Amino acid sequence: MNGERDSSLGDWDTLADRSADGGPPPRGTGPDLPGPPALTLMASAWADLVAILAVCTGALIAILALGERPALPAFAWAAALGVVWWAFAAAVLVVVRQATPGMLLAGVSFADAVQPRRVGWVLAAALIGVLTIGLSGVLGGRGAALRLAAASKVVDGPA
């Protein structure tokens, strides 16, 4: 039991290839398994939307806590704050854990590490998924937009 705990906690924040230290091989080299279901890919876009809306709500609650009533421009600023926060968090998570916040919440990630020059494309594809309320995950196959943006297969499970 203790050995399981040590192996699960030992690599939670690593960027290096886990197979170099005797860990499991990279997921891109295993047998070709079908990607996650379309509903899971839609759920990842919904989870990204929830993450953005949570920051928006927090900003508006902060305005209310200061004793002011949020005016219409405050909603635009709160939405912009949510998108900026999500973009920063998603860029970090795509590099470190090969997934956006919504993908991690839905239990999917990319099979291989995303190239640094493709991170912007992955964020754009994920935002398109948010704007279409997950329909971009269904159109063109299972996660076609994210798969093309990252040049990596979308698989079940965390990286």
* Statement: residue 78 has pLDDT above 90: yes
Q: Is 71's pLDDT higher than 80? A: yes
Contact 99, 111 (CB under 8 A): no
Q: Which residues pair with 38 in a beta bridge?
A: none
Mean confidence (pLDDT) of the chain: 80
pTM: 0.74
| 149 against 157, higher pLDDT | 149
User: pLDDT per residue over 80-123, tens digit each?
Assistant: 999 999 999 999 999 999 899 999 998 888 888 889 999 999 99
* Mean pLDDT score, 112-141: 86
- Each residue's pLDDT tens digit, 18-42: 555 555 544 444 455 567 788 888 8
Nearest to 86 by CA among 47, 121, 116, 115: 47
- Cβ neighbour number for residue 21 with a 10 Å cutoff: 10
| pLDDT tens per residue, range 43-59 | 899 999 999 999 999 99
pLDDT recorded at residue 82: 95
CA dist 76 and 71 (Å) reads: 9
